[in-house]
C-alpha cells in the first residue's frame, strides 16, 4: 500500500476524479494553469482571494466590504476532493488564492505537505478565536492528525436528502424522522431518486444504512475497509440495476434543477438545494429530511495557502478568517442556506442589532436547534479515509454498472 499522505499517492488515487473534474468544470484550463485565470491579476491590497466550495460563499459579499473594508474574490470548486486536491497540488492554486475552503480531511495531507500554513492563534486580527468553542475550533475539520491547527471553522451541517412530503405521504412540516431506506429500497421512490455521483458524498451514507439496518457489518461508515467498500458497492450496484436511481447527480445546480422541475421525489443533496427549490416552488414544497439512522455530518474549514505568506497580505487574511467566526457571516449563512457554525449567539446578536424580523431571529435559533438535533446521531464524514484508493476503485464499479 502506498503512503496515503504523500502527494504522489494522493494524486494517483484521485486521478479518475481529476479527469471527471475536468469534464465537469469545462471552463478550466488543463493542469499547470488550471483555475488560475479565474482570479483577477494584481488584486487590490484590500482584496482577499479564496478558492473553495460554493456553499461557503455569501450570496452578496458587499456586506463584507461595508463591515470590514475587505473585498472577497471567490472562485468556486465543486465538492469533489479529487478536483480540489488537483487544483491545490498540481495547479498550484495557492499562487493566486490566499484561502482554501473545503471539507475537513484535506488538512491531514495538505498541511504536513506544506500547502497550508499553521494558524497563528495569537494574530491580533483573529479577535474571536479565544471565545470560539473548542467543539468547533479543535475539531477534526480544522486540526490535523499531527495535532497542528491548520484551519478556522467556517460552517457545518448534517446532510441527508431532500424529498416531497406529499409523494411519501408523510407530515408536510418535515418533522418526521425518515429512514435512508427511502433512498435505497422504497417501492414508493423506485425510479424517482437522484443520487450524488461522488464517492465521498454517497458511499458513506449507504454504509450507514446497511450498518443500521443490520444488512452488513460496517465498523465505521466514514472509514471503510476495502472489503466493506466492496459490500456497499455490491448493494448499490444491485439497487442501480433494480432501477432505484433515476439519475446520478454531478453538481449543486443539478440538485436544484431536479427538485424544482419535479424530476425526482427524493435526492441526497445539500440543504441549500431544498431552500433554492422552494424559492421557485413555494415555502415547504420540499423538505430536508431528519433521519432515523444518522447523517453525513461535515464541517468546512478555511485554510491559509502557504504562498500567501510571501504576499504581505496576512493581516487581511486573518481579518477574513475572523469574519467567518463573527455574527454577520454566521447569520447570513444560517438565513440563506440553513447552515450553522461557531458563535451562533453572535448571529442572533447581529440580527437583532440590524432589525431583522422576530421571525428571522427565531429562525436563527431554530437553525442551531436543528443542527444540535442532527449532530446527536452517527456518522462523521471525512474526505480522506484510510483506503481511499480501494474505495475509489469500487466506486468506479458502481458508476460503470
Could you give the percent of the chain with pLDDT greater than 70? 89
How far is it, in rounded angstroms, from Cα 366 to Cα 374?
12
Q: Which band of pLDDT confidence, cut at 50, 70 and 90, is reported for residue 298?
A: confident
What are the Cα distances from residue 179, in Å, to 118, 156, 173, 335? 41, 22, 17, 27
Q: Given this model, what pLDDT does residue 3 score?
A: 33
Question: Range with the lowest mean pLDDT among 81-85, 139-143, 170-174, 391-395?
Answer: 81-85
**pTM for the whole thing?**
0.75
- In sequence order, what are the residues at sequence separation of 6 or more whose Cβ sits closer than 8 angstroms to the Cβ of residue 38? 27, 28, 75
Phi first, then psi: give them for residue 164, nearest 5 degrees.
-100, 110
pLDDT at 12: 43
Please check whether residue 101 is in contact with residue 324, taking contact to mean a CB–CB distance below 8 angstroms: no
Query: Which residues of the chain are in CATH 3.40.190.10 domains?
Result: 7-157+297-356, 161-294+382-400
Residues in Cβ contact with 166 at an 8 Å cutoff, skipping those fewer than 6 apart:
172
Q: How many CB atoms lie within 10 A of CB 116?
A: 25
Say how far apart CA 221 and CA 380 lie, in whole Å: 8
103 SS3 class: strand
The tens digit of pLDDT for each residue in 95-105 reads 999 999 998 88
Query: With contact defined as beta carbons under 8 Å apart, do 245 and 195 qualify?
Result: yes
Distance CA 244, CA 264 (A): 11
pLDDT band at 19; cut points 50, 70, 90 = very low
Buried b (16+ CB within 10 A) or exposed e, 127-136: ebbeebeeeb
Which one has a higher pLDDT value, 340 or 130? 130
Predicted confidence (pLDDT) at residue 1 exceeds the cutoff of 60: no
Q: Check: CB of residue 200 under 8 Å from CB of residue 221.
A: no
Residue 177's H or E segment, with its range, is strand 177-178
Q: Is CATH 3.40.190.10 correct for 161-294+382-400?
A: yes
CA atoms of 77 and 54, how far apart (whole Å):
6
Would the pLDDT of 282 be above 60?
yes
**pLDDT confidence band for 39 (50 / 70 / 90):** low
Residue 213, CA distances (Å) to 36, 52, 176, 216, 241 in order: 46, 35, 18, 8, 21
pLDDT band at 94 (very low <50, low <70, confident <90, very high): very high
- The overall average pLDDT reported for the chain is 88
C-alpha 296/C-alpha 103 separation (Å) is 12
Task: Render 29-54 in DSSP notation, one character per residue.
Answer: --TTTTTGGGS-SS--TTEEEEEEEG
CATH class of 7-157+297-356: alpha beta
What is the rounded distance in angstroms from the CA atom of residue 249 to the CA atom of residue 372? 28
**Residue 250 reports pLDDT greater than 70:** yes
pLDDT of residue 9 exceeding 50, the answer is no
- Classify each residue of 289-319 as buried b or exposed e, where b means 16 or more C-beta atoms within 10 Å of its C-beta: bbbbbbbbbbbbbbbbbbbbeebebbebbbb
Amino acid at each position: 500500500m502506498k503512503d496515503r499522505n504523500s502527494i504522489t499517492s494522493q494524486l494517483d488515487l484521485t486521478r479518475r476524479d481529476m479527469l471527471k473534474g475536468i469534464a465537469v468544470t469545462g471552463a478550466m484550463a488543463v493542469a499547470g494553469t488550471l483555475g488560475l485565470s479565474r482570479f483577477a491579476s494584481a488584486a487590490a491590497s484590500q482584496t482577499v482571494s479564496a478558492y473553495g466550495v460554493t456553499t461557503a460563499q455569501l450570496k452578496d459579499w458587499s456586506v463584507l466590504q461595508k463591515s470590514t473594508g475587505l473585498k472577497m474574490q471567490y472562485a468556486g470548486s465543486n465538492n469533489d476532493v479529487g478536483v480540489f486536491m488537483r487544483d491545490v497540488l498540481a495547479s498550484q492554486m495557492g499562487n493566486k488564492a490566499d484561502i482554501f475552503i473545503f471539507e475537513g480531511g484535506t488538512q491531514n495531507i495538505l498541511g504536513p505537505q506544506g500547502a497550508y500554513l499553521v494558524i497563528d492563534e495569537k494574530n491580533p486580527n483573529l479577535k474571536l478565536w479565544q471565545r470560539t468553542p473548542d467543539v468547533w475550533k479543535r475539531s477534526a475539520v480544522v486540526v490535523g492528525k499531527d495535532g497542528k491547527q491548520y484551519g478556522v471553522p467556517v460552517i457545518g451541517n448534517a446532510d441527508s436528502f431532500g424529498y416531497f412530503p406529499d409523494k411519501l405521504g408523510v407530515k408536510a412540516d418535515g418533522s418526521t424522522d425518515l429512514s435512508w431506506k427511502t433512498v435505497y429500497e422504497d417501492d414508493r421512490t423506485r425510479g424517482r431518486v437522484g443520487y450524488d455521483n461522488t464517492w465521498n458524498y454517497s458511499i458513506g451514507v449507504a454504509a450507514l444504512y446497511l450498518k443500521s439496518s443490520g444488512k452488513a457489518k460496517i465498523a465505521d461508515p466514514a472509514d471503510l475497509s476495502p472489503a466493506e467498500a466492496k459490500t456497499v458497492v455490491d448493494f448499490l450496484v444491485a439497487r442501480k440495476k433494480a432501477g432505484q436511481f433515476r439519475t446520478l447527480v454531478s453538481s449543486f445546480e443539478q440538485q436544484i434543477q431536479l427538485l424544482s422541475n419535479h424530476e425526482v421525489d427524493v435526492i441526497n443533496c445539500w440543504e441549500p438545494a431544498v431552500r433554492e427549490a422552494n424559492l421557485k416552488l413555494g415555502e415547504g414544497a420540499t423538505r430536508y429530511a431528519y433521519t432515523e439512522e444518522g447523517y453525513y455530518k461535515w464541517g468546512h474549514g478555511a485554510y491559509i495557502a502557504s504562498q500567501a505568506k510571501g504576499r504581505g497580505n496576512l493581516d487581511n487574511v486573518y481579518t477574513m478568517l475572523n469574519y467567518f467566526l463573527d455574527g454577520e457571516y454566521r447569520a447570513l449563512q444560517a438565513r440563506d442556506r440553513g447552515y450553522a457554525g461557531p458563535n451562533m449567539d453572535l448571529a442572533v446578536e447581529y440580527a437583532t442589532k440590524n432589525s431583522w424580523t422576530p421571525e428571522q431571529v427565531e429562525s436563527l435559533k431554530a437553525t442551531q436547534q436543528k443542527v444540535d438535533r442532527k449532530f446527536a446521531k452517527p456518522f462523521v464524514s471525512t474526505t480522506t479515509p484510510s483506503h481511499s484508493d480501494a474505495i475509489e476503485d469500487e466506486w468506479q464499479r458502481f458508476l460503470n454498472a
